[in-house]
Amino acid sequence: MTRDPDGGLRIGSPWPRRLLVSHGVLVYLFLYLPVAVLVVFSFNAARQTAVWSGFTLDWYRRLLRDDGLLDAVRNSLEVAAVTTGVATVLGTLAALALGRSPAGFRGQRATQALLMLPVVIPEIVLGAALVTFFGVSRLRLSLATVIIAHVVFSISYVAIVVRARLAGLDPALEEAARDLGAGPFDTFRRVTLPLLLPGVVASALLVFTLSIDDYVITSFVAGVGATTLPLHIYSMLKVGVTPEVNAVSTLLLAVTIVLIVVAQRLLQEDRRTT
């Protein structure tokens, strides 16, 4: 029975170590190289070919002059901000209701099923359904309809993450607060919420990211003048492959990665102190 000094296990491993490692490395390369290539060529001086001909920031400069793009960024940020605010509040309330109520209360199973649906139903179905709904209810497609659509699929994510955090809290802490004289509201405000906060913030960041990146649903429900960044990028893509697209992709990527890393850090720290 052998163990590698670093903790790996050799027993029952169907693949020899070297094969496993090289396969793993290849897969990681597969995952990252295409995108890395994208980023690298956003600095390429040549326009049409994929041959490297010098470093330039021209394409980024051109982005700054693209009014349509800047408008799209502004729209995306607006949508993401509002969506995050609304979805985080609703999702947290839902997580609290599900996690701190007597088990099996009337409506619990239905709520859990309801919260699961927006995540599993294909985005295209959701987009189609919403555009049909807006059409029939004579609601003009605009940024507001985009926000509504984003909130719909975001609530579930917040509920899931916050619920997980809540489940990890030691119930003795809330019991101790009540024992020491805090009523239910005070217990929530002084003990539950502070301990839950890193999870809430992390889920907010995740939802923000999802909103900024969403294309499919947004493409159905955005009205004229309500172009978001992914929509704008898509139209750029349809025109053709250009370095500007590489540049804007790189920027979007950078923002997303920063948000994810911060969210992960928050979740990890929260795990350490509780």
Partner 1 sequence: MITPIASPSVEIRGVTKRFGEMAAVDDVSLAIGRGEFFALLGPSGCGKTTLLRMIAGLETPTAGTILIDGVDVTRMSPHDRPANMVFQQYALFPHLTVAGNVAFGLRYQGLPKRDWTAKVADALALVRLAGLESRRPDQLSGGQRQRVALARALVLEPKVLLLDEPLAALDQKLRKEVQVELKTLQRTLGITFLFVTHDQEEALALSDRMAVMSHGRVAQVGSPAEIFERPETELVAEFMGASNFFTAEARDAGPGLLGLRLASGAEIAVPAPAPPRGPFRPGDAVRFTVRPEKLTLCSSVSPDAAAVPVIIENCVYQGVSTLWMARGAGGEQFVVCQQNGAPVTGLPEASAGTAAFLCWNPAHTVVVQ
Partner 2 sequence: MKARGARALLLPTWAVLGVFFLAPLALMLAVSFRQRGVYGGLRAVTDLAAYLRSGAWLANYIRSVSPIYLSIGWRSLWMAVLTTVLCLLISYPVAWWIAVRAPRRWKNLLLGLVVVPFWTSFLIRTYAWMFILRGQGLLNAVLLGSGVIHRPLELLYTPFAVMIGLVYGELPFMILPLYASLEKLDRTLLEAAADLGAGRAAVFRRVTVPLTMPGIVAGVVLVFIPSLGQFVVSDLLGGAKSMLLGNLIQNQFAVARNQPFGAALAFELTAAVLLLLLAYALYMKRKGEEVLL
Of residues 159-198, which lie at the interface with partner 1 (CB under 8 A)?
170, 172-173, 175-183, 190-191, 194-195
Site string for partner 2, 105-144 (x = CB under 8 A): xxxx--x--xxxxxxxxxxxxx-xxxxxx-xx--------
**Per-residue CA distances from 210 to 96, 188, 230 (Å):** 23, 29, 11
CA distance 27 to 257: 20
55 binds, among partner 2, partner 1, none (CB under 5 to 8 A by kind): none
What is the biggest distance separating any 2 CA atoms in the chain, rounded to whole angstroms?
Answer: 72
Footprint on residues 185-224 left by partner 2 (CB under 8 A): 206, 209-210, 212-213, 215-216, 219-220
CB of 129 to partner 2, least distance (A): 4
Q: Is 7 left (phi over 0), alpha (psi -120 to 50) or beta?
A: left
What Rg value do the Cα atoms of the chain yield, rounded?
A: 23
Is the distance from CB of 137 to CB of 221 less than 8 angstroms? no
- Chain Cα centroid distance, residue 31: 18
The answer to whether residue 10 forms part of the interface with partner 1 (CB under 8 A) is: no
**Helices and strands (H and E) in the chain: how many:** 12, 0
Member of 60, 100, 169, 182 binding partner 2 (CB under 8 A)? 100
Of 196, 176, 162, the C-alpha closest to 274 is 196
CA atoms lying within 13 Å on the CB side of residue 110: 3
Supply φ then ψ for residue 215, to 5 degrees: -115, -55
167 binds, among partner 1, partner 2, none (CB under 5 to 8 A by kind): none
**Total of chain residues touching partner 2, rule CB under 8 A:** 98
Member of 7, 54, 171, 181 binding partner 2 (CB under 8 A)? 7
Three-state DSSP at 105 gives coil
46 binds, among partner 1, partner 2, none (CB under 5 to 8 A by kind): none
- Chain Cα centroid distance, residue 104: 30
11 binds, among partner 2, partner 1, none (CB under 5 to 8 A by kind): partner 2
258 binds, among partner 1, partner 2, none (CB under 5 to 8 A by kind): none
14 binds, among partner 2, partner 1, none (CB under 5 to 8 A by kind): partner 2
Site string for partner 2, 229-258 (x = CB under 8 A): -x--xx--x---x---xx--x--xx--xx-
The answer to whether residue 239 forms part of the interface with partner 1 (CB under 8 A) is: no
CA distance 229 to 75: 8
CA distance 185 to 227: 43
Site string for partner 2, 50-89 (x = CB under 8 A): xx--------------------------------------
Residues that bind partner 1 (CB under 8 A): 170, 172-173, 175-183, 190-191, 194-195, 273-274
